[in-house]
Chains A and B, each alone.
Chain A
Amino acid sequence: MPQQLARLLVVFAVFTGGLVVTRHLLIPKTFGQRGHYRAAAVTTIQVRPLRYAGREACADCHADIVGLHGKGRHQTVSCEVCHGPAAAHTLAPVENQLPAPRKRAYCPLCHGYDPSRPTGFPQIDPVSHNPMKPCITCHNPHQPEPPHVPEECGACHGEIARTKAVSRHALLPCTQCHNTPVQHKVDPRLLHPDKPRNREFCGQCHAKDAPSPREIPRIDLATHGGRYLCWQCHYPHMPEVD
């Protein structure tokens, strides 16, 4: 063997030997037992405290909500996405209260309009979609269905229908304010629905002493707005205050 080759072989032998020895010394004992990682890492991770409980764990105490949630469109959004890690809560519910995201700012994290969201994902513009109120006044967070809006008039009065749908008056059917003969939908020019004629009409709901739900804002019918008709100042299909 040429002298050069012999010397090189020695050098390479030292190198390879060094590699074998360092491998032996440095590779953790359990490496490769189950795959390309240190098997003991699993036990290291196992002893870390559990923070999430999973949806099934809630059923023991909140069966109603779990049932509701399982049927609704939020079924793929797990409880702890909105309520946070709940492992401690399941063990001692009273000591470990969970937060509930009741604020309006919360839901647009997922539902605010964003072009990167998948096509068809329900999105709204938080600025114009029924502003000011928490989303949960109209949507049940555990079974969110968009509240049904009477749509039949929208076939012809699309603009008004769409405007009203995102207004404070969204939940009022058109027929609440327009007594509409059935014939109008068939032959609209022949028979017109009526329109509110006086301030008292709006007062049915908005007057101080009106027997309507509590959340409706009240005004003093006698003084508010002077003698003008209400819709000279408020557009009835999109009543705004400012």
Chain B
Amino acid sequence: MEPLGEVLKQVQGYIYPNEVELHWSLLIVVYPYVTGLVAGAFILASLVRVFNVKELQPTYRLSLLTALGYLIVAPLPLLAHLAHPERAFEIFLTPNVHSAMAMFGFVYAWYLMVVLLLEIWFDYRKDLVLWSAQEKGVRRWVHWILTLGATDLSSKAVRFDQSAGRFITIIGIPSAFLLHGYVGFIFGSVKANPWWSSVLMPIVFLFSAIVSGIALVLLLYVISTLLRSKVVDMLCLDKLASFLFYALVVDFSLEMLDFIHRLYEAEESIGILSQLVSSRLFLSLVILQALLGTILPLLMLGIISPALRGRGSLKTPDELRRLLYVAAAALIQVGIFSTRWNVVIGGQLFSKSLRGLTVYKMQLLGIEGLIVAGFLLLLPLLLLLVLIVLLPPWPEAEAHLPEAA
């Protein structure tokens, strides 16, 4: 429990007794942030697969593995938040179709099993078969098990892999929209909460997800390439930055639309919401989310990336451009995390009486504390490392069919 006395001293105006303490803590901020990265990384992969954006090929497998690493972690913050995580599986046994929250398990299972694992499996199957043939020891067995015994490498079978992969990606795009649109839906459908209740919520979530996913893969691509002392493919990076810019423009416009709409509608909640924004959320919304997380990266990307003009409005040496891209992507991560914070925490800081504000005292230790949240944000990267070792996504690791076969 938070030190209630401390919180009470900082409560402003009138609030109901059960609103003093926040029910959804930092972990619930981590959850939409992580699912957003999954959806975003997957949509990036589908740009290569479905929309044939050739320049992005070097990031294709990396973004799939990133999506998988984060997807495995996505339910963990929710489980850690539950008082009885061991009962969570019951939502699979006795599904309640009238509850959006109870449907999460199914949205998740569909996305994990039908979309992501299958797509990765079809994409890697040929390599798995070849790797298991060439390798020794544990790796050989692991790779062999992963083939599920489907070792047919005839050109017909390989062609089937490709068309199946393409087909799954096509299903995958609406599924990724579903996964993250769903998270927005959960918030948007809370009609008692004027900060959340908005039909735009799923769409805003979705585009911010795409933004964060692309930015993450950009970061991971640059870092992993440098760590392997390879050359960063600037063509690919420029393309990534352009897509990042487009997604950011849409995301920003939607946020502004939502904002202006609220101001114009000026419902009775507008007073307390503007008080919220100008006091409790000033740092995380105005400074972090809007200025540093959106407008600054927009300017950076707009000027140096080739998104608007053939080779960028400002010609920059590759080295510098790379650095600026990385900086913009890092800023965007901070910005999107703040976005999640502002939605989840912001939505609970004001009273339903619309007459007062409370504060959120973050815990350090404890299951809902900062340390656990930090761990949950690191865990996907560790998983990604394991996945990369297991299924190297680099072009040079790709096994080639012997010409004769």
A binds B: yes
A residues contacting B by CB (< 8 A) are 2-4, 6-8, 10-11, 15, 19, 22-23, 26-27, 31-32, 36, 115-116
Distance in angstroms between the alpha carbons of A242 and B150 in the assembled complex: 96
Distance in angstroms between the alpha carbons of A75 and B238 in the assembled complex: 74
Partner of A36 from B14, B94, B148, B160 at Cβ < 8 Å: B94
B148 close to A7 (CB less than 8 A): yes
Q: Is B149 an interface residue (CB 8 A)?
A: yes
Q: Is B118 an interface residue (CB 8 A)?
A: yes
Least distance between B74 CB and chain A CB atoms (Å)? 20
Distance in angstroms between the alpha carbons of A30 and B104 in the assembled complex: 25
Nearest opposing residue in chain A for B149, CB measure: A7
Nearest opposing residue in chain B for A19, CB measure: B92
B148 close to A8 (CB less than 8 A): yes
A4 close to B93 (CB less than 8 A): no
Main secondary structure of the interface of A (DSSP, over half): helix
Partner of A3 from B94, B121, B152 at Cβ < 8 Å: B152
Partner of A116 from B16, B96, B151, B164 at Cβ < 8 Å: B16
Contact string against A for B residues 101-141, beta-carbon threshold 8 Å, 1 for contact and 0 otherwise = 00000000000010000100110010000000000000000
**Which residues of the partner chain A approach B118 to less than 8 Å between Cβ atoms?**
8
A11 close to B148 (CB less than 8 A): yes
A4 close to B353 (CB less than 8 A): no
A-B interface pairs (CB < 8 A), number: 44
B125 close to A4 (CB less than 8 A): yes
B93 close to A22 (CB less than 8 A): yes
Least distance between B84 CB and chain A CB atoms (Å)? 15
**Contacts A2-B160, A8-B118, A116-B14 known; A27 to B148 CB distance under 8 Å?**
no
Partner of B161 from A4, A19, A23, A27 at Cβ < 8 Å: A4
A23 close to B93 (CB less than 8 A): yes
Nearest opposing residue in chain B for A12, CB measure: B113
**Contacts A23-B93, A36-B94 known; A4 to B14 CB distance under 8 Å?**
no
A27 close to B93 (CB less than 8 A): yes
Q: With A22-B93, A26-B90 given, can you name 4 additional A-B contacts, CB distance below 8 Å?
A: A2-B152, A6-B150, A26-B93, A31-B94
Distance in angstroms between the alpha carbons of A116 and B122 in the assembled complex: 60
**Which residues of the partner chain B approach A19 to less than 8 Å between Cβ atoms?**
92
List the 4 closest A-B pairs by CB distance, nearest first. A7-B148, A3-B152, A7-B150, A4-B150
**Which residues of the partner chain A approach B151 to less than 8 Å between Cβ atoms?**
3
A4 close to B96 (CB less than 8 A): no
Least distance between A21 CB and chain B CB atoms (Å)? 11
Q: Is B315 an interface residue (CB 8 A)?
A: no
A4 close to B16 (CB less than 8 A): no
Distance in angstroms between the alpha carbons of A26 and B122 in the assembled complex: 34
Distance in angstroms between the alpha carbons of A97 and B235 in the assembled complex: 86
Q: Is B355 an interface residue (CB 8 A)?
A: yes
